[in-house]
Amino acid sequence: MRGRRLVMIPAGVAAATLGVVLLLPLAALIAGCSPAELIAGLRHPLTAPALRLSAITSLISLAITIIGGTPLSWWLARTQRRGVAVLEVALRVPVVTPPAVAGVALLLAFGRRGVLGSLTGAVGADIAFTATAVVIAQVFVSAPFYIQAATAAFRDLDEDQLMASKSLGADSLRAFYTVVLPAAWPALAGGAALAWARAIGEFGATLLFAGNLSGRTQTMPLAIYTALESDLQAAQALSVVLVAAAFGALLALRAVERIPRHRRSPRRS
């Protein structure tokens, strides 16, 4: 018993230390910004364009992720072919790719001299250093979060319900919309929330691939970086807004996870 207590003391100190490291910076950020300072920072010339661009591009990237990621995740979850596991791992690589590496990779793929950039540039449709580049960078870094959550949810589906719907005459598409999506939607919503939070906070890949052009490609993280050079108040205000947005997304995810399982399941015929 005494030995267990001796073990618990260092463990408790380590846990408390980690908690301080994780929470103290956020507390300092929020506590150091009064309502008046927050309003003043939000009135900074950089703030409104960056907020607008971040909101628009992050929602577009989220829509692209959901529309393309849902069928891709379904295919990954249901396919037993060789190489699918390798492909699934490859689709997760952007999560652990350093932002600078992601930016260089995007430039080599979509820049003027890149694999696809040379083709689009030939018709006068340059991608790099445009709002389109912002969306592509956000999709690149955020989509894996949704794909991973959706694939896991589709693999955990009750096969009996799916077979029952098909035995009642529902085709594959109707079964997907009436059985699969209602059963998996909490996980899909959670993955979407994480993907959106990651997209709106993207910095490194956007800076290298889209640039930091005010009103054109300058998102909120880039505006914070710019404001930090001359106006700490504006940088802090934008930082508080980003933290609040991410916290709200995680709270929504938490609420979805707490929904009783019987309310998640589709109605039985």
- Short-list 135, 119, 145, CA closest to 209: 135
Which of 145, 138, 108 has its CA nearest to residue 203? 138
| 191 touches 146 (CB < 8 A) | yes
Window from 84-98, 170-184, 228-242 with minimum mean pLDDT? 170-184
3-state SS, residue 98: coil
- The CA-atom distances, in angstroms, between 57 and each of 81, 165, 201 are 35, 38, 11
Boundaries of domain holding 254:
32-264
| Mean pLDDT over the full length of the chain | 85
The predicted-structure confidence for 131-166, as pLDDT tens digits, reads as follows: 999 999 999 999 999 999 999 999 888 776 666 666
pTM: 0.85
- 70, with CB counted inside 10 A (0-12, 13-18, 19+), is buried
Q: By the 8 A CB rule, do 109 and 115 touch?
A: yes
- Residue 268 is predicted with a pLDDT of 43
What is the average pLDDT across 181-205? 90
> Which pLDDT band, with edges at 50, 70 and 90, does 8 fall under?
low
CATH number at residue 140: 1.10.3720.10
Does residue 20 form part of some domain?
A: no
Phi, psi of 175 (to 5 degrees): -65, -35
Asked whether residue 25 is assigned to any structural domain, the reply reads no
pLDDT category of residue 44 using cuts at 50, 70 and 90 = confident
**Is 21 inside a domain boundary?**
no
Interatomic CA distance for residues 188 and 52, integer angstroms: 26
What is the pLDDT, as a whole number, of residue 264? 47
> Is 119 among the domain residues?
yes
Selected residue with higher pLDDT from 17 and 264: 17
| Among 191, 234, 223, CA closest to 55 | 223
Does 34 have pLDDT greater than 90?
Answer: no
Q: Is 169 part of a structural domain of the chain?
A: yes
Q: How many CA atoms lie within 13 A of 107 on its CB side?
A: 15
Domain count across the chain:
1
Predicted pLDDT of residue 39? 86
